[in-house]
Amino acid sequence: MKGFINTKVYVENQGIITTNIGIENGKIAYIGDDKTVITEPFETTEEQIVLPGFIDEHIHGAGGADAMDGSYSALSTIANSIASEGTTCFLATTMTQSPENISKAMLAVNEYMSKPTTTGAKLLGIHLEGPFISPKHVGAQPPQYVASPDVKVFDEYYKQSGNAIKIVSLAPEVDGSLALISHISSLGVVASAGHTDSGYADIEKATKFGLTNITHTFNAQKPLHHREIGTVGSALLLDNLSTEAICDTIHLSIPAIKLLIKNKPHDKFILITDSMRAKNLGEGESELGGQKVFVKDGQARLQDGTLAGSILRMNDAIKNLVTMCDIPLEQAVDFATINPAKNLGVDTQKGSIKLGKDADFAVIDQNFEVQLTIREGNIIFYK
């Protein structure tokens, strides 16, 4: 049996303990004191910790590829690139674009998921970010492609994807959104408020139709004001809403991150990278939705200075929470593992280290650098 011998492991409901982990048929088959059951051990050192594999529910691209490239090879590039940061599962995130380009992305995901591979992070589906957003908060999305919420349009994308859409980011205040929220919720798709000018009344009403998530909280949405708490205030106030956050300390200041964590139930805060194709390529010129992007000093911006997604790595997001925001390691890890797993409804298989769950692991050292990533028992990254 493959596994880990006498290694620090973050085990569900036990915290970080020194134990042995056995893997069979891609599942966690043993957790306990008997190291003799592990006949093919993975090499680890005393200072390394075995964590559950990270889950990124909002990522556009990495390694020079983007989900909007609409190709099998682009998705493969992303999957293999993000394995180096400990990510074992992800949602290919689209953006506001022409119907033709969105359809191309849907079909590519359908093709990729119909041909399972054991290399790279596992593609769990699609995060459809746009085109049903507010023109007032387009962020780095091309404004000419903003579209009105439409159930029929969504259904066509859903069909093209092979029913793989898992999250839809939209603006709840726009006419037609409530009908769409109700519709997608009935399909088990997460309805998320993003790129929105929604006030509290809009968000509170939308929750009654099935809204459960806030897309990259604080960014590209109506801010908090003492007379109208906006999308941000609603995210802070309403405990039933899960809140994504880009914790690169660029999109959000450290006090903003602390404020959000302090105000949310533990299982309602979710780390995302929102990274784009420039991640893992270094500084220089890149591209997002046909727009030039310039990467410098760890920031990705359009020519006019607008933040254009991030180049954040998930292990660095966890590091930022622990070293800059005084968040305990186990709690920070939950934000990148079990919380997104619960949000996506895959927590019975993924998101924590527990008997019977998928053998998805990220092994980090004392500097939060990923040394080994394992997906369903297979090594997908080794440093």
Tell whether the model's pLDDT for residue 289 goes beyond 80. no
Q: What is the pLDDT of residue 302?
A: 85
Average pLDDT over residues 177-200: 98
Q: What is the pLDDT of residue 88?
A: 98
Please give the helix or strand (H or E) that residue 77 lies within, else none: helix 72-82
Q: What is the pLDDT of residue 35?
A: 94
- Tell me how far apart the alpha carbons of residues 240 and 212 are, in angstroms, rounded to a whole number: 7
Residue pair 16/9 in contact (Cβ under 8 Å)? The answer is yes
Q: Which amino acid is at 317?
A: A
Average pLDDT over residues 45-63: 97
* Whole-number average pLDDT of the chain: 96
Q: Which of 117-131, 151-165, 280-294, 358-372 has the lowest mean pLDDT?
A: 280-294
Task: Locate 181 and state its tokens.
Answer: 């929220």
- State the catalytic residue, choosing from 56, 248, 274, 334: 274
Q: What is the pLDDT of residue 365?
A: 98
Q: Which of 33-47, 274-288, 365-379 has the lowest mean pLDDT?
A: 274-288
Angle between helices 314-324 and 254-263 (to 10 degrees): 90
Model pTM? Answer: 0.97
Cross-strand pairs, 33: none
pLDDT category of residue 312 using cuts at 50, 70 and 90: very high
Kindly give the pairing relationship between strand 54-59 and strand 87-93: parallel
Tell whether the model's pLDDT for residue 61 goes beyond 90. yes
- Dihedrals φ, ψ of 263, to 5°? -95, -5
- Tell me how far apart the alpha carbons of residues 199 and 178 are, in angstroms, rounded to a whole number: 14
Average pLDDT over residues 17-37: 97
Please indicate whether residue 34 is annotated as part of the active site: no
The pLDDT > 90 percentage for the chain reads 91
Q: What is the pLDDT of residue 191?
A: 98
pLDDT category of residue 264 using cuts at 50, 70 and 90: very high
Task: Locate 258 and state its tokens.
Answer: 């602390």
Q: What is the pLDDT of residue 287?
A: 83
Average pLDDT over residues 168-189: 98
Average pLDDT over residues 232-244: 98
Tell whether the model's pLDDT for residue 290 goes beyond 90. no
Q: What CA dihedral angle connects 278, 218, 322 and 365, to 10 degrees? A: -20
Q: What is the pLDDT of residue 300?
A: 87
Average pLDDT over residues 316-322: 98
DSSP string, 193-239: E-SB---HHHHHHHHHHTEEEETTTTTTBPPP-SS--HHHHHHHH-T
CA atoms within 13 Å, Cβ hemisphere of 163: 3
Average pLDDT over residues 218-228: 97
Q: What is the pLDDT of residue 286?
A: 87
Taking Cα atoms as reference points, which of 201, 203, 205, 211 lies closest to residue 180? 211
Q: What is the pLDDT of residue 158?
A: 98
Task: Locate 188 and state its tokens.
Answer: 């088990």
